[in-house]
Amino acid sequence: MQTLKLSMAVSLVLGLTACFSSTIEVQATERISSSLEQKVIAWRRDLHQHPELSNREFRTARVISEHLESLGLEVQTEVAHTGVVAILEGGKPGPLIALRADMDALPVTEQTDLPFRSEAIGEYRGDEVGVMHACGHDLHVAMLMGAAEHLVAHREQIQGSVMFIFQPAEEGAPANEEGGAELMLKEGLFAAQKPEAVFGIHVWSAQNTGKLGYRSGPLMASSDRFEINVKGVQTHGSRPWGGVDPIVAAGQIITNVQSIVSRQVDITKAPAVISFGIVEGGVRNNIIPDNVYLEGTIRNFDMDIRQSIFERLTATAEHTAKSSGAEVHVHIDEGYPVTINDPTLTARMLPTMERVAGADNVLENPLVTGAEDFSFYALETPGLFVFLGITPPDQDPATAPSNHSPFFYADEAALKTGTELYINWVFDYPES
């Protein structure tokens, strides 16, 4: 009897050990070598020193495509002007997933003291401007290039396939041009092979190095631009009754529009913002002009509320203008949709993020009123978009120069975390 009990106990322990070992094997974390990490850093510095504006990322695209071709991948170039796409076939059957990095820089003159700081010059809206990777897209590209190299070297262990998306014009296409994620999809990026999921990373100065910020559901706001032209009838300032004052009508429109969010939108469902950024009208103190131009931005976190705001903005402007005897034309330029992280995908990949960065370094992110055109991909297939901290550990992120600042600085130690996150998403997705 004692022998039987002992045998059963040993069998139980061996069974649990085997089960535990199997779990560990499935959840083993892929790490990059120090030599690959140094390559990623070198690529980042080169890209940082040679930034290019939206839809003009010619050198950047060449650097990317040459690297992917050197890995033996079949590369598609000139997607949405300068985008680069490649697909890696794994050694085992499984799903297709996509990894995305954006490529473009900003019309910002760099004011850091980095030895590889940008001195590039470009043209923006007809003016000569400094160009800088002030939002960290150089890091995104370098991390995905590094992930591609590691994954190619381990392709036999990959279940399924990986689509590498190097996307231009995330910051917005130049006037009268299309670009970015929307154009890549319009040209058929997901038409022939649609991924089961798409993943993206954005470096973030509001977090310390290596920390990951995620949020299930809405993460970043939609971003839409509106124009309101208020037409009155010009008259002398001493005789306002002789015409129709568009300045007074415009002022009433600005005031009344604020009631859309404060009184008409259910803010318990999702926050929203309507801001006026441009008010132009008049040339002389004693002449009432015949026209006033207003321009602003709309941000919100719910696609249905977004459409409701469009309708309410137009109705408010038209009715307010009519009450003053003025005419009005409202144009809404729909920009980026709400960036929504698929809740199921987010929960499924959270253990991966915790393993790569450490559970204590993975934090739930608050809503961000900035916008991202990764949102277009996530409307087509389940998406997961996370923030990677790049502010040095000894610095308070609240004091760090923000993304888009001429003083924007990234701690390159974060590159390893981001590269490994891309890689582990690939290995873990089919198993999760």
Residues carrying an active site annotation: 336, 412
Residue appearing with tokens 């985008």: 83
Q: Are 341 and 217 in contact (CB under 8 A)?
A: yes
Number of CB atoms found within 10 A of residue 307's CB: 12
What tokens does 118 get?
Answer: 């940008």
Query: Which residues, 6+ apart, have CB-to-CB distance to 146 below 8 Å?
Result: 32, 36, 37, 39, 40, 43, 415, 419
CA-CA distances (angstroms) from residue 91 to 195, 298, 313, 360, 423? 17, 46, 54, 34, 15
Helix residue ranges, H only, 279-413 = 303-323, 343-357, 374-380
Could you tell me which of 349, 351, 336, 348 has the C-alpha nearest to residue 298?
A: 336
The enclosing H or E element of 52 equals none
The rounded distance, in Å, linking the Cα atoms of 141 and 59 is 13
Q: Are 375 and 334 in contact (CB under 8 A)?
A: no
Could you tell me which of 102, 70, 67, 68 has the C-alpha nearest to residue 86?
A: 68
What tokens does 411 get?
Answer: 């701690």
137-153 and 58-70 helices cross at what angle (nearest 10)?
10
Could you tell me which of 273, 54, 43, 65 has the C-alpha nearest to residue 140?
A: 43
What tokens does 243 get?
Answer: 């015409």
Residue appearing with tokens 């006033």: 292
The rounded distance, in Å, linking the Cα atoms of 23 and 284 is 76
Q: Are 295 and 254 in contact (CB under 8 A)?
A: no
34-49 and 58-70 helices cross at what angle (nearest 10)?
160
DSSP designation for 365:
P
